[in-house]
Structure 1
Amino acid sequence: MTENLEPAAALAARNPVRIVNESAEYRAARQELLIQEYELRRLTEKVAAMRRALPEGAAVTGNYRFIAEDGREVGLAEMFADKTSLAIYNFMFGPQRARPCPMCTNLLGALEGNANDIQQKMALAVVARSPIERLIAFKKERGWRFLKLYSDANGEWSRDFHAVGDDGGDIPGLHVFTRREGSIRHFWSGEMTEADPGQDPRGAPELGTLWHLLDLRPEGRDPDWYPELDYPT
């Protein structure tokens, strides 16, 4: 528990790191920042513990059907494979889009790089409303090998799990489910729908590796900038 931990200021005071030619002003400010970084790490752990302690989630009862990359129609239970937890990402690539969402694509590219590791501990699936042939073609274009893509076959998933808006547009989202003794239940979904003033849309935890890195530069992230699907070579 956080109340039994040594104060963050004491941890920061023992920090041995010094950078060649740094000023006293820089070191003082960096030490103050380090205290907050310790606190942030502890808050992250506290939030993760609260998430793990959530009460039992809603039972999943919908007749959700998906088309897998091999053309088979599968249900939610089959997407778990041999795992007890399943994460599903709602990919903004509906049939009305000429191209998929660049933000989703960037996030999925990072997940692709970690997919094999993630799938040692939990199942991972990407669901979109476009036909599976279209999803497979884009997967090949991106060079993705390990992400498992599925097409929402009857649209029920997209309606029930907030993947489509009232205007028919796509909505992204991450959902986590559990399977215990044959019962599938919802565990957690990202529900942060509003950004603070001056911020780009984001949730907590932050899933995008891109933003973690850009937050480290002096300018921070640019709330008006988003990644592209392609860049000039």
Structure 2
Amino acid sequence: MPHPVVSREEWLEARRALLVQEKEATRQRDRLNEARLALPWVKVDKAYAFDTAAGRKTLADLFDGRSQLMIYHFMLGPQWEAGCPGCSFLADHLDGTLPHLNHHDVTLVAVSRAPLAKIDAYKRRMGWHFPWVSSEDSDFNFDYHVSFTPKDLAGENVFYNFTAIPPEQAHDELPGLSAFYKDENGDVFHTYSSYARGPEELIGTYMILDRAPKGRNETEIMDWMRRHDEYEDKPKAAACCH
């Protein structure tokens, strides 16, 4: 869609009008964050165990000495040959957050149902370093509504993103983000989960594209995106930057 070309004064007037909307969106985000923090919690009474590089660990162990745990439900099923491209796109943004999150009493872990050997192989391929564990022999993914059995998918609906959706809109694995808190007694509480496009703000590339002249420039969500080692050409950079 062609854009009008105007004088600097006209551009400033239009930009200031947009700034009003941006400031309101920021204030709305602050209000939303307050409401999110005010959510009630649910105590996790079920025992979950995960395969990790350091052996079998419980959900409480995954906190790694901190009181807050963020789990990214990464789509990589037991029979899959590679991780979901969309989850991989998001995961490209995680490693740089780790020292900041850990310093701020937050542990970030990815969880998938694939066996640990398959997870580790894909992690090496992608060059990632964030903790990633397997829930292969656990109900964890099913209880947090990001994995579905053939029986689930053969039914009338599956429960995802806090609602019933037709099975043709689902998959055996779906993405999400969940938060947990561990108190001084070692009790663990589920405090928050988000699904579908909910974790999208973790994708810094999208936040940059939203401010680029062409925006996301996509017909469908992520239709242009590939795993970072699958692009046909390398990202273009200005010669002055080398």
- Does the alignment reach a TM-score above 0.5? yes
Q: Deviations over 1:172-207 (max 9, x none)?
A: 10000011132111111115x5xxxxxxxx226622
The Cα offsets for residues 66-122 of structure 1, whole Å up to 9 and x where unpaired, read as 00023x111001001111110001110112322211110111110112122212220
Determine which of 225, 228, 232 is the counterpart of 1:227: 225
Cα contact 2:176–2:199 (8 A) shared by 1: no
TM-score normalised by length of structure 1 = 0.80
Are residues 1:120 and 2:99 paired? no
Structure 2 residue aligned with 1:58: 42
1:38-77 superposed Cα distances (whole Å, 9 cap, x missing partner): 111111111111111222x11111221100023x111001
1:28 partnered with 2:44: no
**2:56 is matched with which residue?**
73
Partners of 1:164 and 1:170 within 8 A in 2: yes
SS of the residue corresponding to residue 44 of structure 1 reads helix
The answer for unaligned runs of 5 or more in structure 2 is: 1-5, 154-170, 235-242
Whole-angstrom CA distance in 1 between matches of 2:72 and 2:123: 15
Q: How does 1:190-209 map to 2 (within 5 A)?
A: 190-191=194-195, 193=196, 202-203=197-198, 206-209=201-204
Query: Pick from 176, 195, 202: which aligns with 2:179?
Result: 176
Runs of 4+ in 1 over 3 A off after TM superposition: none
| 3-state SS, counterpart of residue 72 of structure 2 | strand
Summarize the alignment of residues 86-165 of structure 1 with structure 2, pairs less than 5 Å apart: 86-121=69-104, 122-145=106-129, 147-165=130-148
C-alpha change, 1:69 and 1:26, in structure 2 (3 Å) is: same
- Secondary structure of 1:190's counterpart equals strand
- Measure the CA separation in 2 of the matches of 1:138 and 1:153: 16
1:213 to 200, 208, 212: 208
- Corresponding position of 2:24: 39
Which shifted more, 131-140 or 113-122? 113-122
Q: Say which SS state the counterpart of residue 133 (structure 2) adopts.
A: strand
Structure 1 unaligned residues grouped into runs of 5+? 1-20, 194-201
Which segment is superposed worse, 218-227 or 58-67?
Answer: 218-227
Percent identity, aligned pairs only? 31
- Count how many residue pairs are aligned between Structure 1 and Structure 2: 201
The TM-score normalised by the length of structure 2 is 0.77
2:49·2:59 contact (CA, 8 Å) conserved in 1? yes
- Which range moved further: 28-37 or 219-228? 219-228
